[in-house]
Amino acid sequence: MNTNALKKELTGDNDMNDWTKVVALDDIPQLGSRVIATDTMKIAVFRTASDEVFAMKDECPHKKGPLSQGIVHGTSVTCPLHNWKIDLASGEVLGPDEGCTNVFPAKVESGTVYIAFS
C-alpha cells in the first residue's frame, strides 16, 4: 500500500474531509516545499521525488524550527536548525529523538494540491 493510500485509510478519507485548494503541484519543487500562511498558522506542504504531497505545521517539535526550509529526502524532512528528522506522513520525529508535529491530510487531484485544515 503506498503512503497516500495508507493515509487515506488512516484519516478515513472518503472525501468526508473539507478540502481546500492551495497550490498547483508544479509550483512546489520536487524534494522541496512551499509555505502556506493561514490567519492562524504556517503550514509546510512538501513534495517528494515521486510526487506525493504531505502537509504539516511548519514547526519542528524540538525548537520550532521552520521545517519547510529543511532538506526533503524519501518521505522525511531534516529540520534546518538542529537536524532533527521528521516523518512526513505521521509528523513523528524519527529516532532516537522524540516528538511529533501536527499533520494535515493532503492530496493531489489533476495537478492541484488540496489540504484539509480541520
Partner 1 sequence: MKEKLVLVGNGMAGVRALEELFKHNTTEEKGSDQYDITVIGAEPHPNYNRIMLSPVLAGEQTINDIILNSPEWYEENNIELVTGDPAIEISRIQRSVITESGKEFPYDRLLIATGSTPFIIPVPGAEKEGVLGFRDIHDVDTMVQAAKEYKKAVVIGGGLLGLEAANGLMKQGMDVTVVHLLDALMERQLDKPASDLLKASLEQRGMKFLMEAQTAEILGDKRVTSVKFADGSEVEADLVVMAVGIRPNFELAQKAGIHCERGIVVNDTMQTFDPVIYSVGECVQHRGACYGLVAPLFEQAKVAANHLAQVGSTRYIGSMTSTKLKVTGIDLFSAGEFNEQEGDEVLQMQDVASGVYKKLVLKDNVIKGAVMFGDTMDGTWYFSLMRDAANIADFRRTILFGQHDLGDAGHGEASAVMSLPDDAEICGCNGVSKGDIVQAISKNGIFTLDEVRAHTKASSSCGSCTGLVESILASTVGEGYDATPSKKAICACTDCSHDEVIDAIKDHELKTMPVVREFLEWKTPDGCAACRPALNYYLMARWPEEYKDDAQSRFINERAHGNIQKDGTYSVVPRMFGGLVKPNELRAIADVCDKFDVPEMKVTGGQRIDLFGIKKEDLPAMWKDLTDAGFVSGHAYGKAMRTVKTCAGKTWCRFGTQNSTGLGVKLEELTWGSYMQHKFKLAVSGCPRNCAEATIKDFGVVCVDSGYELHIGGNGGIKVRVTDLLCKVETEEEVLEYCAAFTQKYREEAHYLERTAPWVERVGLTYIKECILDDENERKALAERFRISQKVAQVDPWKERAEGQASHEFTQIKIAG
Residues within the interface to partner 1 (CB under 8 A): 20, 22-23, 27-32, 34-39, 42, 49, 63, 65-66, 69-74, 78, 80-83, 85, 95-97, 117
Give the nearer residue to partner 1 in terms of CB position, either 36 or 103: 36
Cα separation, 111 vs 102, whole angstroms: 25
Cα separation, 22 vs 115, whole angstroms: 7
**What is the strand order of the sheet 85-87 is part of?**
71-73, 76-78, 85-87
| Closest distance to partner 1 from the beta carbon of 12 (Å) | 22
| Closest distance to partner 1 from the beta carbon of 4 (Å) | 16
| Closest distance to partner 1 from the beta carbon of 21 (Å) | 9
Give the nearer residue to partner 1 in terms of CB position, either 28 or 56: 28
